[in-house]
């Protein structure tokens, strides 16, 4: 079965997404290795804004917009649907990390953080979005259920 990626008709600069992923990686690393656990609330808020509201108001997206001109790379426009789905998955991971922090579940936070950081690193370094690979399957299941 060949899964096609559904199109959201919104475009996003993949280079900005890769910078967002690098920022997420660094932020989660900061959360895991420092006593400043409150930073997960900022990261969670950012993923919530990108996944459920308007990415224009995202802290990471705005930082990425400032970094892009310095890199002097041409925009690579891609479908935003899978990237928005990835932000929603990122928000779920942030919720898991927040609960882990509140209930002092260090091992759970470490495992969830490692998975999250791996996914972010794959996006930032190799342009491989794990959530984007899952997106067509979820989308097709959602449409099959609606029929």
Q: Are 76 and 17 in contact (CB under 8 A)?
A: no
> In the predicted model, is pLDDT for residue 143 greater than 50?
yes
Tens-place pLDDT, residues 52-78: 999 999 999 999 999 999 999 999 999
Q: What is the pTM of this model?
A: 0.87
> In the predicted model, is pLDDT for residue 5 greater than 80?
no
Tens-place pLDDT, residues 99-133: 999 999 999 999 999 999 999 999 999 999 998 88
Q: Which residues pair with 25 in a beta bridge?
A: none
Tokens at 90, concatenated: 């990122």
């Amino acid at each position: 079965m060949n899964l096609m990626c559904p199109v959201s008709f919104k475009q996003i600069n993949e280079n900005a997404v890769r910078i967002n992923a690098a920022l997420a990686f660094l932020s989660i690393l900061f959360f895991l290795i420092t006593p400043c656990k409150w930073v997960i609330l900022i990261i969670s808020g950012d993923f919530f804004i990108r996944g459920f509201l308007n990415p224009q108001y995202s802290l990471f997206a705005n930082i990425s917009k400032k970094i892009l001109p310095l890199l002097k790379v041409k925009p690579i426009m891609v479908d935003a649907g899978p990237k928005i789905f990835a932000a929603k998955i990122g928000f779920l991971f942030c919720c898991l990390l927040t609960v882990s922090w509140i209930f002092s579940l260090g091992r759970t936070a470490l495992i969830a953080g490692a998975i999250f950081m791996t996914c972010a690193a794959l996006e930032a370094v190799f342009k491989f979005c794990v959530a984007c690979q899952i997106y067509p399957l979820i989308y097709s299941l959602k449409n099959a259920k609606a029929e």
